[in-house]
Structure 1
Amino acid sequence: MLTVENLTKRFGANAAVDNASFSIDRPAMIGVIGRSGAGKSTLLRMINRLTDATTGRILFEGTDVTTLRGKDRRAWQASCAMIFQQFNLVPRMDVVSNVLHGTLGKRSTLTTVFNLFPKSDIHQAIDILDRLGMADHAPKRAEALSGGQQQRVAIARALMQDPRIILADEPIASLDPMNAQTVMEALRRIHEEDGRTVLANLHTLDTARRYCDRVIGMRDGRIVFDGTPEQLTTGVARDIYGAGDDFSEAATSTEIREPALVPPKVVLPEFA
């Protein structure tokens, strides 16, 4: 599906991402971990083409994404949806209209400016919100929602794009543990039920182990680990984060339960 080859992004003399390579050959939920400044966000932004690579290639089903321009680039960004830490919703706009903005790449500017969306799109938006447990909030302003609710609206907006890949840049970094769990369960369910690839930047090891099939570790712009959650031992984590023997996983935990080194396979509950 997706191959990243020797991808590098330089800002002056500094390499934010340095010769990164990995492949995804089937739909998966993948966590990218590393300390702040490791290059995680820059990597996702290059994949989505929000930031241009300095060198290297991004191949999706044989197409070099780094060469796309104009409408082809916009089409790629529609099929490779981004979810951000700060939600990027329109605060004074109602929830369903925020979700409908996921169709911006398919509708005319006039349609979106005046909120003239087809009934089929409105029904689809409400169905997606219902799937995420948010249908009852459809008429509310986005600013009236909690952080976790706003992030689920942002996920719904991404799903309106009908993407092949979802890129989530620190989707739970600003959320409390309960809302963080709800959002991660939503992303996991989307992967499992829809067969979509989810590539998420995460800042806690327990979250990566619990929800992801595969974990990529970055340090100083380089990929230094690529393996299963079971292979992500405390020793490996110390290397990824450049930490000493005093490194404590518990200090970075956002789980509402006691963290385990390798948690058992989880059966996700239905959304309330």
Structure 2
Amino acid sequence: MLEVRNVTRVFGSRAAVDNISFAIDRPAFVGIIGRSGAGKSTFLRMLNRLTDASAGQMLVDGRDVLALRGADRRAWQSQCAMIFQQFNLVPRMDVASNVLHGLLNRRSTLATMFNLWPRTDIERALQILDRLGIAEQAPKRAEALSGGQQQRVAIARALMQDPRIILADEPIASLDPMNAQIVMDTLKRINVEDGRMVIANLHTLDTARRYCDRVIGMRDGRIVFDGTPEQLSTGVARDIYGADAGFNEAATSTAIPTDHEPDRSYADRMLA
């Protein structure tokens, strides 16, 4: 489904991503972990075509998305939605309109400028917000919402694109523990119920262990671990984060409350 072949991104004399290769053959929930500057965000931005690669290929069903140009590139960006740490909403715009902006690549500039949307699109946006438990926030300005609610609006905007792949770049880094849990549960539910691949950059081992089917560890632009959450031992974590980082479990564990487990309705289906 997704095959990354020898992908490199060089900035000046430094390789932010250094000749990485891996393949994902099903719509899994994949976590990418590592220290700041390990190359995690650069990789996601290359896959979404926000940043160009210096070398290599990223094949989706055999098509190299790094080679796409013009309309084909924009079409791919619609299929590969991006969720950012800082939400990237329009603060003074209402929530429903922010969600509808997930369709920007498919709408005319004029219609977007005047905020003109077909009734079917508006209804779908409201249905997505209802699914994420924030339908009552639809008429409010995005800036009036809490951080967790804003991130769910960003997820709703991504779903509006009806993407094959959702990329999440540190989606809970700026959230409090309870909102972090809600956002991660939401992404997991979308992965399992919709059959969409989710690739999330995460800082913490505990979050990766609880939500991911597969974990890729990056250090200095290279992949140093690729395996299951169960294989994330303390020794492996030292390889990823580096002994010089003063690694310990507490330093890389999430603040998500440990007495709350992900929604078993979909976790049980995963294990069935």
TM-score by length of structure 2 reads 0.94
Deviation larger for 45-54 or 245-254? 245-254
- Match for residue 128 of structure 2? 128
Q: Is the CA contact 1:151–1:171 (under 8 Å) kept in the aligned structure 2?
A: yes
Secondary structure of the corresponding residue to residue 36 of structure 1: coil
Residues 105-138 of structure 1, C-alpha deviation per residue, up to 9 Å, x if partnerless?
A: 1111111111100000000000000010010100
Query: Shift in Å at residue 268 of structure 1?
Result: 5.3
What count of residue pairs does the alignment treat as equivalent? Answer: 266
Q: Residues 135 and 247 from structure 1, CA distance in 2 versus in 1: closer, same or farther, beyond 3 angstroms?
A: same
Q: Residues 155 and 52 from structure 1, CA distance in 2 versus in 1: closer, same or farther, beyond 3 angstroms?
A: same
Q: Is the CA contact 1:180–1:254 (under 8 Å) kept in the aligned structure 2?
A: no
- Match for residue 181 of structure 1? 181
Q: Is the CA contact 1:46–1:52 (under 8 Å) kept in the aligned structure 2?
A: yes
Match of 1:267 among 249, 264, 267: 264
Query: Shift in Å at residue 258 of structure 1?
Result: 4.0
Amino acid at match of 2:209: R
Q: Residues 264 and 228 from structure 1, CA distance in 2 versus in 1: closer, same or farther, beyond 3 angstroms?
A: farther
- CA RMSD in angstroms, aligned pairs only: 1.7
Q: Tell me if 1:247 matches 2:263.
A: no
- Match for residue 154 of structure 2? 154
Query: Shift in Å at residue 91 of structure 1?
Result: 0.2
In 1, the alpha carbon distance for the partners of 2:262 and 2:120 equals: 37
- Match for residue 270 of structure 2? none
Secondary structure of the corresponding residue to residue 183 of structure 1: helix
Query: Shift in Å at residue 76 of structure 1?
Result: 0.3
Amino acid at match of 2:197: T
For structure 1, the residue ranges without an aligned partner over 5 or more in a row are none
Amino acid at match of 2:51: T
Secondary structure of the corresponding residue to residue 53 of structure 2: coil
Secondary structure of the corresponding residue to residue 8 of structure 1: strand
TM-score by length of structure 1 reads 0.94
- Match for residue 145 of structure 1? 145
- Match for residue 7 of structure 1? 7
Query: Shift in Å at residue 245 of structure 1?
Result: 9.6
In 2, the alpha carbon distance for the partners of 1:221 and 1:121 equals: 40
Amino acid at match of 2:174: S
In 2, the alpha carbon distance for the partners of 1:116 and 1:180 equals: 33
Q: Is the CA contact 1:33–1:204 (under 8 Å) kept in the aligned structure 2?
A: yes
In 2, the alpha carbon distance for the partners of 1:252 and 1:59 equals: 32
In 2, the alpha carbon distance for the partners of 1:100 and 1:245 equals: 42
Query: Shift in Å at residue 265 of structure 1?
Result: 8.1
Query: Shift in Å at residue 44 of structure 1?
Result: 0.3
